[in-house]
Structure 1
Amino acid sequence: MATKAAGGAVIGLAAGCTFGATPAAQEIQQAAAQDAALPELKWQMATSWPVALDTIFGGAQTFVEAVKALTGGRFVIEPRAAGELAPGTQVLDVVSQGAVPIGHTASYYYVGKSPAVAFGTTVPFGLTAQQQNAWFYEGGGLAILQELYQEKFNVIQFPAGNTGAQMGGWFRKEINTPADLNGLKMRIPGLGGQVMAKLGVTVQVLPGGEIFQALQTGAIDAAEWVGPYDDERLGLNKAAEFYYYPGWWEPGPALEVEINLDEWKKLPELYQAAIQYAAYVANMTMLASYDARNGAALQRLVEGGTKLRPYSEEILVAAKAAADELYEEFSAADADFARIYKEWDAFRKSVQGWHDINEYSMMNFVHGTLG
């Protein structure tokens, strides 16, 4: 498939994830080697992640390593941990202002600026990672979001990571009904947080590196981050006993690279192509890393005393109703949200209808036969 960037560069994205082995990567590398006039650039990248989270911060590292390799070492980007160049939830701000040329973050941290940006990461009861990528690359999702970002924030962005389906959070006590959520203080960002607020939760948005202390001290009663591998590294299992699933508010959350639009326009087309390709590589490899690591991490957590609990059907039904109500409210109040939601929802119905018939039916059978 091919992706056309705002700057006019077009790169073919091969199916493989190892950038050095694909035709697109080889074409970029060869062109860079043959063009002695390409400038040497060094950028600093703000991220929303602590370095200790080697998979999610690793997505930023994968991206910058790919850019460096594709440009023959002439375009070097240094990723910095959350808090070094900007607070973890303010990466878009500093990139938009031009204080930092590039960032790696999650769009749903910024729904207070525009609720429509949530579609760049995930929304409650939305798309899986596979479906999200289909919408971005083949369903027009990336193009419509890029238009929004350029108009509102002077930024161009590309998907550059996906955690896959997340867990439903850590709780210091069991919850069985929607009434049990009322009054809880919970760390949860994005539209998922707004749905929880409709269910009576007091919502807080904290960077990943601050969650453990807040949960351990009782400053919050519950928290969600990503899933078993990251949550174990943050030590959340030592701060709360009950681990809920599914993470209905984050079925396939994407992360993104954001570039200040003025800086983007200054880049040679070849460097723009390298950024696009490197973002694609980071998007694919992060998802593979989480899928490969989460199973073993979950087993370790359970063996260590974590108590897995499914959300009750009563809670899921209440959350779905609250989410649908939220989408109606945003569509009525925000033209950007209404426009993107309409296109996104049509794609969702189409792709989920297909997956219901084919993939989900097979997986339900296979899971039912596993001993």
Structure 2
Amino acid sequence: MNNRNRLVAGITLATAMATATTGVSAAETEWKMATPWGGGPWLERDAQTFADYVNQLTSGDIEIEVFPGGTLGGALRVTNTVKAGVADVSHNYINYDYGTDPTAALLAGHSSGLTPEEFMMWMYEGGGAELYEEFRREVFDVVAFPCSILGTELFLHSNKKVQTLEDFQGLRLRTSGAWAEIASRLGASTVVMAGSEIYNALDRGVIDAAEWGSPEMNKPTGFQDVAQYVVLPGVHQSGGFLECQVNQDAWDELDPEQQELMRLAGKLSVFDSWLASSYADLEAYQELVDGPNEIVQLDPSFIDAIYEETRKWEDEHAADNEWFARVLESQREFKDSMTTWQQYRLPIGAMGRE
């Protein structure tokens, strides 16, 4: 579906808000957007959706040109590119800055974290978006807010069958961020490598297994062609967010109405990405089920071990990182408030089916 035809209600709201900004300068602002993405839905759909919404909401006052990863700077150093002003704005994954502050993992999504739907509620009703923006300003000196949702990932594409904690011992696993630490503590031998290297590493046996993304995101990689087993569920990354960052000086040149329209563009883009990626995941997963791969479900005792080790990891970081503690407390309080959800909400896709 063409991005410009999405969310009629949102655009109606946009038109009304844009009318209120007619008193600002009519000069068109042209921004460059840096991304880590070489292609695929995150670049061609999600980043472009945000750029289109910004253009619509500001009645053409702000036009954003989207650039693929590596064009405006290092693909994994997008925050530095925006901070330095080489790019005015970005579409990015906050977990690439995990090495600077592990709080990034909580905001990007991590093991035993929030599902996509829970993440959206926490962000927009539970104070998460305000924490996100404050954290990015204080620690990284950029303005940032959510602008895409991440679906639940596949746990593994693997050449070894993994069901139990015992199976996980010594597994040569490609991963990154917080899960690299936690998986190592659970006995895996973790390897960090770029996404472009995973296929050949699996094919040649350099690694036994890899995690990357949701069924939709993994489909074009071909991992299923070189790894027999597809392991579920993705408890290592139950959901998450991508962000849009704005250079502080560029942000300060906007008036308050334009700044709010930027945040609104992010929120509308999150909703669009949730609809599109959730629907695309259905077809992509069914292809795995119907194909030659073996679908493997993790043993509940292994899932419990992951949750237990993750909580220990969380508590350790919260003890010596004030920002980590603030975000963790907010998320845990939100999760506690969700304990009655299943008492009155029907599970998606599970009722009324033969």
Output the TM-score relative to the length of structure 2.
0.91
- The RMSD of aligned alpha carbons is 2.3
- Supply the distance in 2 between the matched residues of 1:199 and 1:337 (Cα, whole angstroms): 22
Cα deviation for residue 368 of structure 1 reads 7.1
Change (3 A) 1:21 1:316: closer
Q: Indicate if the aligned counterparts of 2:162 and 2:231 stay in contact, CA closer than 8 A.
A: no
1:358 aligns with 2:327: no
Question: Which residue does the alignment assign to 2:250?
Answer: 263
Question: Which residue does the alignment assign to 2:308?
Answer: 321
Which of 26, 39, 57 lines up with 2:15 in the alignment? 26
Which of 40, 45, 52 lines up with 2:33 in the alignment? 45
In the TM superposition, what whole-angstrom CA distance separates every residue of 1:256-313 from its partner, at most 9, and x where no partner exists? 1111222211223343233111111110111111111111111222323121111112
- Supply the distance in 2 between the matched residues of 1:20 and 1:39 (Cα, whole angstroms): 27
**Structure 2: stretches of 5+ with no match in the other structure:** none
Question: Which residue does the alignment assign to 1:243?
Answer: 230
Cα deviation for residue 195 of structure 1 reads 1.4
Output the TM-score relative to the length of structure 1.
0.87
1:367 aligns with 2:350: yes
Q: Indicate if the aligned counterparts of 2:156 and 2:211 stay in contact, CA closer than 8 A.
A: yes
Cα deviation for residue 86 of structure 1 reads 3.1
**Structure 1: stretches of 5+ with no match in the other structure:** 1-15
Cα deviation for residue 63 of structure 1 reads 0.3
Q: How does 1:29-178 map to 2 (within 5 A)?
A: 29-32=18-21, 34-35=22-23, 37-51=25-39, 53-54=40-41, 57-178=44-165
Q: Indicate if the aligned counterparts of 1:101 and 1:260 stay in contact, CA closer than 8 A.
A: yes
Counterpart of 1:97, as a letter, is A
SS in 1 for 2:244: strand
Identity of aligned residues (%): 27
SS in 2 for 1:113: coil
In the TM superposition, what whole-angstrom CA distance separates every residue of 1:42-74 from its partner, at most 9, and x where no partner exists? 2221112221x1256411010001111222333
Counterpart of 2:48, as a letter, is Q
Counterpart of 1:41, as a letter, is T
1:204 aligns with 2:191: yes
Counterpart of 1:356, as a letter, is Q
In the TM superposition, what whole-angstrom CA distance separates every residue of 1:70-123 from its partner, at most 9, and x where no partner exists? 223331111222222233322223223333221112222222111112222212
SS in 1 for 2:288: helix
Question: Number of aligned pairs?
Answer: 350
After TM superposition, which residue ranges in structure 1, 4 or more long, deviate above 6 angstroms?
none
- Supply the distance in 2 between the matched residues of 1:234 and 1:279 (Cα, whole angstroms): 27
Q: Indicate if the aligned counterparts of 1:89 and 1:109 stay in contact, CA closer than 8 A.
A: yes
Larger CA deviation: 200-209 vs 184-193: 200-209
- Supply the distance in 1 between the matched residues of 2:36 and 2:285 (Cα, whole angstroms): 24
- Supply the distance in 1 between the matched residues of 2:254 and 2:83 (Cα, whole angstroms): 17
- Supply the distance in 2 between the matched residues of 1:203 and 1:38 (Cα, whole angstroms): 53
Change (3 A) 1:19 1:264: farther
